[in-house]
């Protein structure tokens, strides 16, 4: 008691002493007890040099500072709060805040800053809040925020950003909320938000994103709230949103005309979805979100007929609130969606609908006759529906044998699937220069003549899935240079259609599943044909061989080669694919995973799938430290390498392997006890424990305390080199730090990306 009393007395006297001695700059006013200094609106052109060293808070709002030079605050190292709003600051020099290691809150809003330099915020190692809103920032240099490991909130709203480069926010290891609203963003690099493992809220509203940035967003595992309101998106395709923890998604005030029922299939925890003020006439029940509590459709032209009934029923069943009113038909206008009886959501019979259509067709011909003045009405080919407001046209499954012509010139989405075109001649789509997305699935197409898509200069998505193509003419895609997503799955292609793809410099995602491709050659196939390809899907072909270096492509991130006939790891084919993150090889015949077998991609690889390949052995050295998913289900593995070294693992599937449960597997048992992962592994041997869970068997009790992990046996005649020496003590098994690894190793060597030219707006944003 006495001791603490003495301490209090000492402290108080120290404070009063300092209060008396506290220097206050001449033009400022000071609170000596609180150690705060206020110099608002004094037209100061520099930070007052006579600040007391022990000042805690400094308010310099409304001055005329212009430049904050290096060490501008070095005479006040204890500052915790600094207000610099509206101080006409144009430049923050590198190292301006270098000495301010105690700073908690820094406000630079309403200034004229245009570039954030690499070391602008160096030294602010305790900073929690940084306001940079209402400036003119158009460039963030790499590493600008790298020293702000404690920052919780970063406000960059109301600036002039058009592009976020890879790794822009690297170093923000504790960021919770990142605010980028009210900029001019039209492009986010895939790794723009890499490293933000703690981010749970992201605001991107009031920007110019035309597509949902799926790739970029999928990396944000912890985000629960995402605001994309007021962006000019027109369509949300399948699996656009893949964010495991997302609960609140704001997509209001956009230009959505369509939203796939699978768009949110990767957002299982979504509870609030705001789609208000879009152009949605119909919406199907959403696959994926199981806990949706509220769906806001206010301000959409919701048409209350039978097409809306499934949604209404679905929402009713799960007690999800549907907000909004019917826009038609007349007898239901303005009725709240929630209040409409599903029974009343009806369509007239198909016969009537057809009759109606014929009449319309007649009326159209009449209108066009010279005797009557034609009324301005939207043109639309027969047996098609054109929604000019939504810029959609569909002729799905209407028995067309030739591609209909005469769609409204502004059409952006053209859906022709399930017709019988058989052959697409040159110039099949005149007058469709605005179409972004063309659906031709299930149209029995066996040939595409060179120039068939001529004039489709904006075409971005092309769906040719499930047709009868056996080959592609080298000129098949002439005239559609913007094509970025190409679906050719479910055809009968015998070869990789390299020559045809050469005309598509921007191709980023290519689907070739379920074809009959048997080999991939020559060397350099991808890099010479589609240098920007990021995702290549070749599942379920008959591939037996892949030429050396065939798949070397600096951008390739996802490669699916599962369900083929490979007999070994395609190591040499990937010798320079050093950004590969996901590799699927399940359902091939690969019995060994040698120490060097994924070596070329081991730094970047995050997901590896080798289910049902007859795998008998995995070398520990084969698995890179950044691996997050490892799936080796249904193989012949008797032993496993020490997984405790893979500290980033988030998902492991070891089921259906005949593991040998003796002391050599003790490392696995210990690892399983210590990690927060759900790991199921079953013993296959010895016979007395066959079928029991590794977690439950008692055989490990009798093992020596520091039983060493198994030797990885080297099979002399396999040509595999000896595995690297490994830690042999079980104490090296770490509790899993749930934190995914930083990707620095991977991206660190890349040159930092610069902002691309401002105009024309890049359309390469990935959705």
Ligand X SMILES: *[C@@H]1O[C@H](CO)[C@@H](O)[C@H](O)[C@H]1NC(C)=O
Q: Which residues bind ligand X (CB under 6 A)?
A: 43, 45, 64, 252, 274, 276-277, 294, 296, 298-299, 323, 514, 540, 563, 587, 670, 674, 730, 733, 735
In whole angstroms, the minimum distance from the beta carbon of 470 to ligand X comes to 15
Tell me whether residue 44 or residue 605 sits nearer to ligand X (CB atom). 44
Tell me whether residue 45 or residue 728 sits nearer to ligand X (CB atom). 45
Give the whole-angstrom CA distance, residue 135 versus residue 112.
5
Tell me whether residue 358 or residue 735 sits nearer to ligand X (CB atom). 735
Tell me whether residue 516 or residue 558 sits nearer to ligand X (CB atom). 516
In whole angstroms, the minimum distance from the beta carbon of 515 to ligand X comes to 9
- Give me the residue whose beta carbon is nearest to ligand X: 735
Per the listing, tokens 């502004």 go with 410
Q: Which residues pair with 30 in a beta bridge?
A: 37
- 3-state secondary structure labels for all residues of 398-418: CCCCCCCCCCCCCCCEEECCC
Query: Over the Cα atoms of the chain, what is R_g?
Result: 31
Tell me whether residue 107 or residue 276 sits nearer to ligand X (CB atom). 276
Tell me whether residue 62 or residue 215 sits nearer to ligand X (CB atom). 62
Q: Which two tokens stand for residue 157?
A: 């709203």
In whole angstroms, the minimum distance from the beta carbon of 713 to ligand X comes to 24
In whole angstroms, the minimum distance from the beta carbon of 451 to ligand X comes to 30
Helix (H, G, I), strand (E, B) or coil at 298: coil
Tell me whether residue 484 or residue 563 sits nearer to ligand X (CB atom). 563
Extended beta strands in 84-186, E state = 91-92, 105-107, 115-116, 129-131, 139-140, 153-155, 163-164, 177-179
Tell me whether residue 252 or residue 642 sits nearer to ligand X (CB atom). 252
Tell me whether residue 540 or residue 553 sits nearer to ligand X (CB atom). 540
Cβ neighbours, 10 Å, residue 242: 16
How far, rounded to the nearest angstrom, does the alpha carbon of residue 320 sit from its chain's CA centroid? 27
In whole angstroms, the minimum distance from the beta carbon of 675 to ligand X comes to 9
Helix (H) or strand (E) holding 490: none
Give the whole-angstrom CA distance, residue 302 versus residue 284.
12
- Of 456, 475, 470, which is closest to residue 411 (Cα–Cα)? 456
Cis ω before 516 (30° cut-off from 0): no
In whole angstroms, the minimum distance from the beta carbon of 643 to ligand X comes to 12
In whole angstroms, the minimum distance from the beta carbon of 558 to ligand X comes to 18
Count CA atoms closer than 13 A to 749's CA, side-chain side. 7
Tell me whether residue 289 or residue 594 sits nearer to ligand X (CB atom). 289
In whole angstroms, the minimum distance from the beta carbon of 301 to ligand X comes to 14
- Of 478, 474, 512, which is closest to residue 494 (Cα–Cα)? 512
In whole angstroms, the minimum distance from the beta carbon of 43 to ligand X comes to 4
In whole angstroms, the minimum distance from the beta carbon of 729 to ligand X comes to 9
In whole angstroms, the minimum distance from the beta carbon of 211 to ligand X comes to 22
Helices (H) and strands (E) in the chain, counts: 8, 43
Q: Say which DSSP state 30 is in.
A: E
Tell me whether residue 64 or residue 744 sits nearer to ligand X (CB atom). 64
Give the whole-angstrom CA distance, residue 661 versus residue 667.
11
Tell me whether residue 45 or residue 744 sits nearer to ligand X (CB atom). 45
Phi/psi of residue 375, each to 5°?
-75, 145
Residues in the chain: 767
204, 206, 212, 217 alpha-carbon torsion, rounded to 10°: 0
Count CA atoms closer than 13 A to 113's CA, side-chain side. 33
Q: What ranges in 599-675 are assigned the alpha helix state H?
A: 666-674
In whole angstroms, the minimum distance from the beta carbon of 44 to ligand X comes to 9
Per the listing, tokens 């050599």 go with 664
For residue 608, what are the contacts with CB-CB under 8 A and spacing of at least 6? 583, 585, 598, 623, 627, 629, 630, 631
Do residues 84 and 111 lie in contact, with contact meaning Cβ atoms separated by under 8 Å? Answer: yes
In whole angstroms, the minimum distance from the beta carbon of 741 to ligand X comes to 18
Cis ω before 329 (30° cut-off from 0): yes
Tell me whether residue 167 or residue 672 sits nearer to ligand X (CB atom). 672
């Amino acid at each position: 008691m006495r001791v603490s009393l003495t301490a209090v007395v000492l402290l108080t006297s120290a404070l009063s002493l300092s209060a008396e001695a506290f220097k206050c700059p001449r033009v400022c006013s000071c609170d000596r007890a609180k150690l705060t200094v206020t110099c608002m609106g004094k037209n100061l052109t520099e930070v007052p040099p006579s600040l007391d060293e022990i000042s805690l808070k400094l308010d310099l709002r409304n001055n005329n500072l212009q430049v904050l030079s290096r060490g501008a605050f070095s005479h006040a190292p204890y500052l915790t709060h600094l207000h610099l709003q509206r101080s006409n600051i144009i430049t923050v020099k590198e190292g301006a805040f270098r000495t301010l290691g105690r700073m908690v809150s820094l406000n630079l809003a309403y200034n004229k800053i245009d570039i954030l330099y690499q070391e602008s915020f160096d030294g602010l190692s305790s900073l929690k809040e940084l306001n940079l809103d209402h400036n003119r920032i158009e460039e963030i240099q790499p590493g600008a925020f790298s020293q702000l490991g404690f920052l919780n909130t970063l406000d960059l709203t109301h600036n002039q950003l058009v592009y976020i480069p890879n790794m822009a926010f690297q170093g923000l290891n504790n960021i919770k909320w990142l605010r980028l609203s009210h900029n001019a963003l039209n492009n986010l690099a895939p790794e723009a938000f890499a490293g933000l493992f703690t981010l749970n809220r992201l605001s991107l509203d009031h920007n110019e994103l035309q597509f949902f940035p799926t790739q970029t967003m999928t990396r944000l595992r912890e985000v629960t709230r995402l605001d994309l309101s007021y962006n000019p998106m027109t369509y949300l395709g399948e699996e656009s949103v893949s964010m495991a923890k997302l609960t609140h998604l704001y997509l209001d005030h956009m230009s959505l005309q369509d939203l796939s029922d699978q768009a949110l299939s990767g957002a299982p925890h979504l509870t609030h979805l705001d789609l208000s003020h879009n152009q949605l006439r119909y919406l199907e029940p959403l696959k994926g979100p199981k806990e949706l509590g509220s769906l806001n459709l206010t301000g959409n032209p919701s048409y209350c007929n039978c097409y809306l009934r499934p949604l209404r029923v679905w929402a009713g069943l799960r007690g999800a609130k549907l907000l909004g009113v019917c826009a038609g038909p007349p007898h239901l206008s303005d009725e709240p969606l929630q209040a409409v009886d599903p029974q009343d959501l009806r369509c007239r019979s198909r016969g009537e609908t057809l009759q109606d259509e014929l009449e319309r067709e007649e009326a159209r011909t009449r209108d066009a006759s010279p005797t009557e003045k034609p009324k301005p009405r939207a043109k639309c080919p027969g047996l098609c529906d054109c929604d000019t407001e939504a810029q959609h046209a569909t002729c799905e499954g209407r028995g067309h044998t030739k591609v209909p012509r005469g769609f409204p010139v502004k059409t952006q989405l053209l859906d022709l699937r399930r017709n019988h075109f058989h052959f697409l001649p040159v110039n099949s789509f005149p007058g469709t220069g605005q179409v972004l997305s063309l659906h031709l699935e299930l149209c029995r197409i066996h040939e595409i003549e060179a120039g068939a898509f001529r004039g489709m200069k904006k075409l971005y998505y092309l769906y040719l899935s499930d047709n009868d193509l056996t080959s592609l003419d080298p000129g098949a895609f002439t005239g559609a240079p913007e094509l970025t997503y190409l679906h050719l799955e479910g055809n009968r292609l015998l070869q990789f259609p390299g020559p045809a793809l050469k005309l598509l410099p921007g191709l980023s995602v290519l689907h070739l599943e379920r074809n009959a491709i048997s080999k991939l050659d020559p060397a350099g196939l991808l890099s010479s044909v589609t240098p920007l390809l990021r995702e290549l899907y070749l599942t379920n072909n008959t591939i037996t061989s892949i030429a050396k270096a065939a798949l070397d492509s600096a951008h390739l991130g996802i490669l699916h080669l599962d369900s083929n006939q490979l007999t070994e790891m395609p190591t040499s084919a990937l010798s320079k694919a050093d950004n590969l993150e996901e590799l699927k090889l399940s359902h091939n015949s690969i019995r060994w995973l040698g120490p060097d077998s994924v070596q070329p991609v081991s730094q970047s690889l995050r997901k590896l799938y080798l289910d049902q390949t007859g795998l008998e052995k995995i070398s520990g050295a084969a698995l890179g430290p950044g691996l997050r998913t490892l799936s080796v289900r249904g193989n012949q593995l008797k032993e496993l390498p020490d997984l405790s070294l893979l500290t980033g693992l988030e998902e492991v599937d070891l089921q259906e392997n005949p593991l040998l449960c003796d002391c050599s597997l003790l490392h696995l048992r210990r690892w399983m006890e210590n990690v927060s992962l759900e790991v199921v592994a079953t013993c296959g041997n010895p016979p007395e424990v066959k079928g029991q869970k590794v977690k439950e068997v008692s055989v490990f009790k009798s093992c020596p305390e520091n039983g060493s992990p198994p030797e990885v046996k080297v099979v002399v005649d396999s040509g595999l080199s000896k595995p690297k020496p490994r830690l042999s003590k079980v104490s090296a098994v770490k509790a899993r730090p749930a934190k995914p690894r930083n990707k620095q190793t991977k991206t660190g060597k890349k040159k930092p990306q610069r902002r691309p030219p401002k105009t024309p707006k890049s359309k390469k944003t990935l959705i």
